[in-house]
Amino acid sequence: MTESFLDLDNQHGALGETHREIGDINLAYMLLAQKLVKQDMASAMFRLGITQDLADLLSGMSLSQIVKLAASNMLLCTFRIESAPMLAVATEEKASGLQTAHMSILMAARQVQATAVYA
């Protein structure tokens, strides 16, 4: 009986640790995203897969707003490699420049498809 309570405490501790890790990732991601947007908005929009409206909002956020948003237990970044073929391209043993170009083409095509859905 005591073991089940200990297991439950360990699960809650692991869950709390996971939420802290998500918060850390969110904060790092939001700070990097804002930095990228402020440095070169067009490039950041492509790299982050975001719209002009979101880039404008992101560039104007205060540190306290970013910290508050990052505290969510939901990941704010998304995994953009959504299929096995895209993952295969990303992990192939190719020349770095060729692999980067291939991934850029795939991501650009994905972005165009996503933009067409929202238009």
Chain centroid to CA 44: 13
Average of pLDDT values for 99-115? 63
Q: Do 62 and 113 lie in a common domain? A: no
- Give the model confidence (pLDDT) of 67-91 as tens digits: 999 998 899 998 777 777 777 777 7
> Based on the structure, what is the number of domains in the chain?
2
Tell me the pTM. 0.67
Q: Do 48 and 106 lie in a common domain? A: no
- Indicate the angle between helix axes 2-39 and 52-59, nearest 10 degrees: 100
Q: Do 58 and 86 lie in a common domain? A: no
Average pLDDT, the chain: 80
Least confident of 8-17, 48-57, 72-81: 8-17
- Residue tagged 């992990």 (tokens): 91
Q: Do 70 and 100 lie in a common domain? A: no
Interatomic CA distance for residues 33 and 58, integer angstroms: 8
Q: Do 84 and 66 lie in a common domain? A: no
**Residues of 76-94 as b/e, b for ≥16 C-beta within 10 angstroms?**
beeeebeeeebeebeeeee
- Which comes out higher in pLDDT, residue 119 or 88? 88
| pLDDT value at residue 70 | 95
Q: Which two tokens stand for residue 94?
A: 């190719």
User: For the domain that residue 54 is a member of, what is the CATH number?
Assistant: 1.10.4000.10
Q: Do 59 and 94 lie in a common domain? A: no
Domain carrying residue 105: 79-119
Least confident of 9-18, 40-49, 55-64, 67-76: 9-18
